[in-house]
Amino acid sequence: MSPGIGLMKRRLGNEKDAIVLAISGVIKNYKVSEDKISTLETKFDDNSGDWYVAIGWNEKKAIIKMDSVHGIITEIKEI
């Protein structure tokens, strides 16, 4: 029997970890250099345990949704 999501240790325990993962996802998917990326906003959803990080680079923006327990990017939505 595995523990519930509330009892599991989070791999993305803080905002800094979420930003680092979001930036690495943008670099990997969009082939952009790190110095052109800026963090616009971060939000943690207490109900789902997901991090949302808004990232901007050049003329593009994206919202990256991440699972805090598994420490993975679940969605990148370009806006």
Amino acid 18: pLDDT: 94
Amino acid 69: pLDDT: 86
What is the secondary structure of 31-46 as a DSSP string?
Answer: ---GGGEEEEEEEEET
* 30 Cβ contact partners less than 8 Å away, ≥ 6 residues apart: 57, 60
Task: Convert the pLDDT of each residue in 31-77 to its tens digit.
Answer: 999 999 999 999 999 888 899 999 999 999 999 999 988 899 999 99
- Spell out the alpha helix ranges (H) of 1-79: 15-30
Residue recorded with tokens 């990256």? 64
The domain spans of the chain are 15-78
Amino acid 4: pLDDT: 53
* Residue 13: both structure tokens together: 């325990």
Instruction: State the DSSP code for 3.
Output: P
Q: What's this model's pTM, rounded to 2 decimal places?
A: 0.84
Amino acid 1: pLDDT: 45
- Does residue 7 register a pLDDT over 80? no
